[in-house]
A and B are shown apart, each in its own frame.
Chain A
Amino acid sequence: MTDVDITSKTMDGMGPHGTKVGLLRVLGPAHVWALGVGIVLVGEYMGWNFAVGKGGAYAALIACWFAGILYTCVAMIDSEVTSTVASAGGQYTQAKHIIGPLMAFNVGLYLVFAYTMLEAANAITAGYLFSVVASMAGYQAPLDQRPFIILVIMFLAWLNYRGVLATLTFNLVITAFAFIAILVLFLATSGIAGGGIMQHAALFEGHELPYGWIGILAAMHFGLWYYLGIEGTTQAAEEVRSPARALPFGTLAGIMTLLIAATLTWYVSSGVLPWEYLGDGVNGSVAPLFDTARLSGSTALVWLLGFGTLFATLASANGCINDASRAWFAMGRDKYLPGWFGAVHPKYRTPYRSIVFLVPIALIFALGAPLDQVITFSILSGLLGYTFMPLNIILFRRKWPLHSIKRGYEHPFHPVPAITLLTLCGVTFFAVFLGYGTQLVAMIGFYIVVSLWFHFWRYRFVNRGAQFTMPWPKPLGY
């Protein structure tokens, strides 16, 4: 089995099978929550409102709840599998153990692209926010956003480089701030505490479903923004003190937080902003929660939501650097990529080469690519990853039934969540095809090409024996 006790207090972080320098097990459930919610919450502050433009306010609410079901399935499935596959790499490692090398290679790339693109998009948004603040402060000339975009990426990469505990504690503080800001905005504007300014009936009259039922379908594409990234909690698996407890707890608390935040966000924004304005995220409402605060007439709310928007953006970029680097590191460690990337810093105990390597890639996309294309690339990679999950859990339960491996969490009603998730992924693929068909086809083409490269060339370098170190029984039927 293992010649090193990883629970030892005197050898904290020392892993099995000859590991001399490993990732540090220092995180708790709150850090897992901060990682998952931190990546996502920026989607509440901006982006989700494109769903309103696609089908009206009610369509955005229906998309919010259907996407909520999709992500609840994702969270439940992830919680079960990751509480067992407690290793960096998240879904990549799950795919490696449960399906096979080619699936693992593809899932690893989905993860790295989804998070690196999202990091770039967040940096672009942060640069934009600085320019808005400059403009509001009376600065006349157009602000050069580039130094602020670069600073966001460099600072957060540096933080990640220096250690995971400080990185995710920072995320915990700013994510909690951003979530509390949404709660305060709801309490202050809904009439529960102070005068209410909600005008749902007046704003919705005659615009209930402006594009009919097809509008609801189209809204599903942007419904993902309410929750995109919660699956990133799995990347912390090798750095939490108790994976079996912390990962399901943090992930499921995270999706519950997001369901509340998403619904409140829809409620306050659609009750104040006309749907035509709210639904135009480029020329209309770029940051709906901030715009709602401005319309409340309260300076305190404007400051609160202003900082909430900035903190949500930073938390997302920070979590993305953490997750992309863990996925890249895990692939390097198994020789799916050059083994050089599988290095751990002996002092800070972080995958430092992977963190530094992904910095210039994020900078290139942040400085050279349009925001909508960057985000679409991220969403499509995420969606491909979600499609893998139901297949993964069905095979996992079939090969290793409940009695064969002890799980930290067993998700209920199997296979209903898997079938629901697969169905909703199909619907969302169709919705994405309606708006971004060319990008979808191009992206699938890209993954086919890299799969061929992996199959015919890279696979010969994969360390096939050393990568399966979980003390699992043989799969059923083998």
Chain B
Amino acid sequence: MDLWNWLEYAAWGLSVAFGLHMAIDWLKTDSSYSEDVLTSSREGELEAMAEEHKVKS
């Protein structure tokens, strides 16, 4: 079999490996942490503004 046939198989294999790694880690993460923690992210703030500005009511 030609080198390029091997490379084709290697590409298929690596693609499956990367996909499986993400899928397994995803399931493991979702089962290890509560949804409240995972989705607790809120918008960031700029430190310069956080230091210098106050919210005006």
Interface set of A (CB-CB < 8 Å, partner B): 1-2, 6-7, 15-23, 25, 83-84, 86-88, 93, 134, 137, 139, 141, 143-144, 147-148, 150-151, 154-155, 157-158, 161, 237-238, 242-244, 333, 339-340, 342-347, 352-353, 355-356, 359, 405-406, 408, 466-467, 469-474
Main secondary structure of the interface of A (DSSP, over half): loop
CA A339 – CA B55 in complex, angstroms? 27
With known contacts A333-B42, A346-B33, A356-B26, A6–B47 Cβ distance under 8 A: yes
The contact of B42 among A83, A137, A469, by CB within 8 Å, is: A469
Of B2, B25, B43, B56, chain A has the most CB atoms within 10 Å of the CB of: B43
Q: B29 touching A86 by the CB < 8 A rule?
A: no
For B9, what are the chain A residues with a Cβ–Cβ distance below 8 Å? 147
Binary contact readout B1-34 vs A (1 if CB under 8 angstroms, 0 otherwise): 0111000110110110011011101100100010
With known contacts A134-B4, A158-B21, A471-B55, A333–B41 Cβ distance under 8 A: yes
Distance to closest chain B CB from A125 (angstroms): 16
Q: B50 touching A471 by the CB < 8 A rule?
A: yes
Given contacts A1-B54, A243-B46, 9 further A-B contacts (CB under 8 A): A2-B50, A15-B42, A143-B4, A144-B8, A238-B44, A244-B48, A469-B45, A471-B45, A471-B49
Beta-carbon nearest neighbor of B37 in chain A: A20
Beta-carbon nearest neighbor of B53 in chain A: A471
Q: A346 touching B37 by the CB < 8 A rule?
A: yes
Distance to closest chain A CB from B52 (angstroms): 6
Q: How large is the interface on B (under 10, 10 to 19, 20 to 34, 35 or more residues)?
A: 35 or more
For B55, what are the chain A residues with a Cβ–Cβ distance below 8 Å? 1, 471-473
Q: A345 touching B29 by the CB < 8 A rule?
A: yes
Beta-carbon nearest neighbor of A467 in chain B: B43
Q: B37 touching A87 by the CB < 8 A rule?
A: no
Nearest 10 CB-CB pairs, A to B?
A147-B11, A343-B38, A158-B18, A20-B40, A154-B18, A86-B46, A17-B42, A151-B11, A238-B44, A87-B43
With known contacts A155-B14, A466-B42, A471-B54, A406–B19 Cβ distance under 8 A: no
The contact of A405 among B2, B37, B53, by CB within 8 Å, is: B53
With known contacts A154-B18, A157-B22, A147–B12 Cβ distance under 8 A: yes
Distance to closest chain A CB from B14 (angstroms): 6
Q: B41 touching A22 by the CB < 8 A rule?
A: yes
For A345, what are the chain B residues with a Cβ–Cβ distance below 8 Å? 29
Distance to closest chain A CB from B53 (angstroms): 5
With known contacts A7-B47, A471-B54, A344–B42 Cβ distance under 8 A: no
26 A-B pairs in the complex with CB atoms less than 8 angstroms apart: A1-B50, A6-B50, A15-B41, A15-B45, A16-B44, A19-B40, A19-B42, A83-B46, A87-B43, A134-B4, A139-B3, A151-B15, A151-B18, A154-B14, A154-B18, A154-B19, A237-B44, A238-B44, A333-B42, A342-B41, A343-B38, A352-B22, A353-B26, A356-B22, A356-B26, A474-B56
CA A19 – CA B36 in complex, angstroms? 10
Distance to closest chain A CB from B8 (angstroms): 5
Q: B56 touching A21 by the CB < 8 A rule?
A: no
CA A469 – CA B46 in complex, angstroms? 11
Distance to closest chain B CB from A101 (angstroms): 15
For A147, what are the chain B residues with a Cβ–Cβ distance below 8 Å? 8-9, 11-12, 15
Q: B49 touching A84 by the CB < 8 A rule?
A: yes
CA A84 – CA B46 in complex, angstroms? 7
CA A473 – CA B46 in complex, angstroms? 14
Beta-carbon nearest neighbor of B50 in chain A: A2
Q: A21 touching B8 by the CB < 8 A rule?
A: no
For A343, what are the chain B residues with a Cβ–Cβ distance below 8 Å? 35, 38-39, 41
For A86, what are the chain B residues with a Cβ–Cβ distance below 8 Å? 44-46
CA A150 – CA B13 in complex, angstroms? 11
CA A134 – CA B11 in complex, angstroms? 14
CA A87 – CA B29 in complex, angstroms? 24
Of B8, B19, B40, B47, chain A has the most CB atoms within 10 Å of the CB of: B40
CA A345 – CA B28 in complex, angstroms? 11
CA A342 – CA B54 in complex, angstroms? 28
Distance to closest chain B CB from A345 (angstroms): 6
CA A408 – CA B48 in complex, angstroms? 9
With known contacts A139-B2, A356-B22, A473-B55, A21–B38 Cβ distance under 8 A: yes
Distance to closest chain A CB from B16 (angstroms): 8
CA A351 – CA B43 in complex, angstroms? 13
Distance to closest chain B CB from A335 (angstroms): 10
CA A161 – CA B38 in complex, angstroms? 15
Q: B11 touching A148 by the CB < 8 A rule?
A: yes
For A141, what are the chain B residues with a Cβ–Cβ distance below 8 Å? 2
CA A333 – CA B23 in complex, angstroms? 22
CA A299 – CA B32 in complex, angstroms? 54
The contact of A472 among B14, B37, B53, by CB within 8 Å, is: B53
